[in-house]
Amino acid sequence: MARDSSATKARLLDAAFSEFAAYGIAGARVDRIAEAAQANKRLIYVYYGNKEQLFDAVLQRALETGSESVPFDADDLPAYAGAVFDHLVAQPSLMRLVVWKQLERPGTTEAEQESYRGKIAVVEEAQRAGRVDAALDPADVLTLVLGLSQAWFGAVGGPAAGGAGAGWTPER
């Protein structure tokens, strides 16, 4: 019976996503990934090269999934920020993966740059059409919108949690 390499790759990516979200790149162990994926550890190296390249593949898949789940709309940036926030709330492991990436790999990957370039081009188009303020740098607009969508995750215990029992909840 022929093996299904696409199913094995998908299991490895799923297991690696969980492992990287929990432990980061440095703390992740390929042995645990292989065990969770019910795959031979050697296949990680065959399919992905090394642990860092596996992380890149996990990150790229997360970006693609996020773009499919939350389409970018420069005509309604507040709604887009809210949709990104809701997507992250629904998948807390994704936010942990993003934080680990920022801590252990500052800078952007080629997949991230490609994603950003596409969104910046859409903002530029909206600026030319007069739908977004053209006085703002398009990259700054995107950075602010994405930062806004993630701000509450870092504000836990901050001003939002203060006073008369007010706490952080996604519904707030």
1 in any annotated domain: no
Residue 109 is predicted with a pLDDT of 87
Return the number of other C-beta atoms located less than 10 Å from residue 25's C-beta.
18
Residue 109 contacts residue 56 (beta carbons within 8 Å): yes
Residue 144 is predicted with a pLDDT of 96
Residue 153 contacts residue 95 (beta carbons within 8 Å): yes
- What CATH number is given to the structural domain containing 39? 1.10.357.10
Residue 153 is predicted with a pLDDT of 80
161 in any annotated domain: no
Number of domains comprising the chain: 1
> Among candidates 47, 11, 55, 9, which has minimal Cα distance to 29?
55
| Residue 42 CB-half CA count within 13 A | 0
Residue 107 is predicted with a pLDDT of 87
Return the number of other C-beta atoms located less than 10 Å from residue 84's C-beta.
19
118 in any annotated domain: yes
Per-residue pLDDT of the chain (172 residues; tens, 9 = 90+): 456 799 999 999 999 999 999 999 999 999 999 999 999 999 999 999 999 999 999 999 999 999 999 999 999 999 999 999 999 999 999 999 999 999 999 888 888 899 999 999 999 999 999 999 999 999 999 999 999 999 888 776 655 555 544 555 666 5
The span from the CA of 5 to the CA of 126, in Å, is 42
Residue 97 contacts residue 17 (beta carbons within 8 Å): yes
- Expressed as residue numbers, the domain containing 116 is 7-151
157 in any annotated domain: no
The span from the CA of 43 to the CA of 6, in Å, is 12
Residue 158 is predicted with a pLDDT of 53
Residue 167 is predicted with a pLDDT of 57
Question: In 3-state terms, what secondary structure has residue 28?
Answer: coil
Residue 19 is predicted with a pLDDT of 98
